[in-house]
Structure 1
């Protein structure tokens, strides 16, 4: 599969065909399903980590802590378990519908202590509905799953995991590795690696971990998402996304009344104007014609990934975009905001619209924002 051609086609205004039969929501993992055991003091708590990140909240598998385009969830997780975990070493397939694992085999000889969660794409789940527009959405979904794992670890008091979102290979798309330092520090005492901060969150410490209830309550708010956001709201969400993406994208926010404009972060961390004028109707047209976006309180936008990007860069940029919007989504929730990721974009050459060179700065991902009390 030529990812460059797939992305170029997804960016056109070609409409997908009729729905096709979808792949099952869970692979037919071999062997018996095993319960995730309780963790002892100092062990990685895999049961809670997966419950707060990837486990389904309903029998259909559509409702999960990690968002997914069309609630199709095209990302499966395999666990590579090393020492200092509640489970024996080995490779396991995770079933998010029943919150169980299946042993797939032995761990590799060079397995690290702790656990590596490998994220694999099952394209047919998303292709069944989105057709040729599927691959950008699949990559974004994998980034959201990585963000959900990162946030779950933070909520449970783990140190920041090692992230492989480089896009170097086709499978697995991403890996999130948790070292076995679980329980060594109480929640709120652990630090953050540079560039991995969680942004400002309402009246909390700017880098305080989310609560488990924040992650379980995360939902994509149905439209409309109206209302006026404060400058502090915009700064918090924009800062969270920009800190999370490791420099892969540029970020801005489109806002409406009383002064329609695009704003971005200045080098000193303050908001500054990127462009004047109303951008939301154009964003609505670019986002598969979702008209409600034109009235959203604000729209966070990550852009970059030029037309000549190779497959590795396409994967890396989209994985990081999903990771960043996943983090920003929870930061918005913690501030009491309504929010909804927007992943499907056609002809969305933001750079050209801003008078820059064309085909260099395409919109990769977005997050529509509003205030719940003003959403009707």
Structure 2
């Protein structure tokens, strides 16, 4: 089994360099339990009083499995392996008594694992970490960036669920400074606000069109290939604008690869009102080769790309870039669906040095994450 711990055993920069290399993973290994073995008895989440934060709804809209296998959830995951674990610090104003809880997304239950800390703020603070073995079991040495992207998607799912429930200021911390937890989402109770918004926390942002509805979150699915049909100028501009706004502070750039009649790469113009073409030529065959050889990308209508994270980035930079890329692609996916597009996140990238391919210095501008787009209507996606 691959050792993905940081420190002497495995430096994050070295792990990322290996994940970006053409080396292929070995045979699959056991994924282990799908849920962390939380101590104590599983407890149902009580119905919320009118003045309390409804934790049952918040978690159902963001992290809970909707099928017996545990694969289908509101947040996407590479290989549907769902490595993200959630520990809840519950304060006043919630449908659970104050304390610390581990969340079981398969049974939609919690395990009380301790009393609340004295400084626990009102509402709930979700601390996200990962059980790497689940993703390593299939992706091997390519797992490290996927674990970070999955965590960013889970943070976005919690953020959007809070907004769907009418919470005005969920706080999302994606600073990349710690390995455990990797991300933190604080949701205040109804009518509450976050008294602090650190400079490195994500300010509230929205998909194009405002907060989502619960139905939008529960029906969001990654569309199966193929994804043909070039999105309209307005739809592509909205998806790019959502991603760029959501990833503020992550040192990422955003562009989209489009095909005929004018194949090339486009990005948002200053001000975000139109698209600028900054590279000509058909990029999708190269992207398909870089994306673990997923040939269907050649025929995708467009491919949204998050790029940056140079080869010499330190561990906080690597974590921050990938966490925010996952967060931003999740929100961009909602925008895409609102514009009638089918969409599918693409997280595994090898030799994807976009900057070098465009003639810039090598090692400075790598593809970090992507969202493939097509004009097939979202209603045509496979649903459970």
Q: What TM-score results when the alignment is normalised by the length of structure 1?
A: 0.93
Distance 2:93 2:342 in 1: 39
Aligned residues: 362
Tell me, yes or no, if the aligned pair for 1:150 and 1:160 is still in contact at 8 Å.
no
1:214 is aligned to 216
**TM-superposed deviation, 1:41:** 1.7
**Alignment match of 1:99 (pick from 89, 100, 108):** 108
Mapping of 1:1-376 within 5 angstroms?
A: 1=6, 2-180=11-189, 182=190, 196-200=204-208, 206=209, 208-248=210-250, 249-269=252-272, 270-372=274-376
* Other structure's SS at 1:213 match: helix
The 1:195–1:271 alpha-carbon spacing in structure 2 relative to 1, beyond 3 Å, is farther
Give deviations 1:230-272, integer Å, cap 9, x for gaps: 0011011101100000132000000111111111011121211
Q: CA deviation digits over 1:160-206, x for unaligned, max 9?
A: 311110111110110000112x1579xxxxxxx99643243xxxxx3
Q: C-alpha displacement at 1:127, in angstroms?
A: 0.2
Give distance in 1, aligned partners of 2:174 and 2:166.
Answer: 22
How far off is 1:328 after superposition? 0.6
Gaps of 5+ in 1: 186-192, 201-205
Query: Are the counterparts in 1 of residues 173 and 202 from structure 2 also a CA contact under 8 Å?
Result: no
Moved over 2 A (4+): 193-200, 373-376
Check 1:194–1:127 CA distance in 2 against 1; reply closer, same or farther (3 A cut). closer
Alignment partner, residue 188 of structure 1: none
Measure, in 2, the Cα distance between the counterparts of 1:194 and 1:151: 13
Q: Is the 8 A contact 1:39 1:86 kept in 2?
A: yes
TM-score, normalised relative to structure 2: 0.91
After TM superposition, give the deviation of residue 94 of structure 1 in Å: 0.3
Q: Would the aligned equivalents of 1:305 and 1:313 in 2 still touch at CA under 8 Å?
A: yes
CA distance in 2, matches of 1:277, 1:149: 38
CA distance in structure 1 between the partners assigned to 2:53 and 2:12 by the alignment: 36
269-278 vs 61-70, which moves further: 269-278
What is the aligned-residue RMSD (CA, Å)? Answer: 1.7
How many Å separate the matches in 1 of 2:131 and 2:124? 22
Alpha-carbon distance in structure 1 between the residues aligned to 2:283 and 2:203: 29
Distance change (3 Å), C-alpha of 1:373 and 1:219: closer
3-state DSSP class of the match of 1:356?
coil
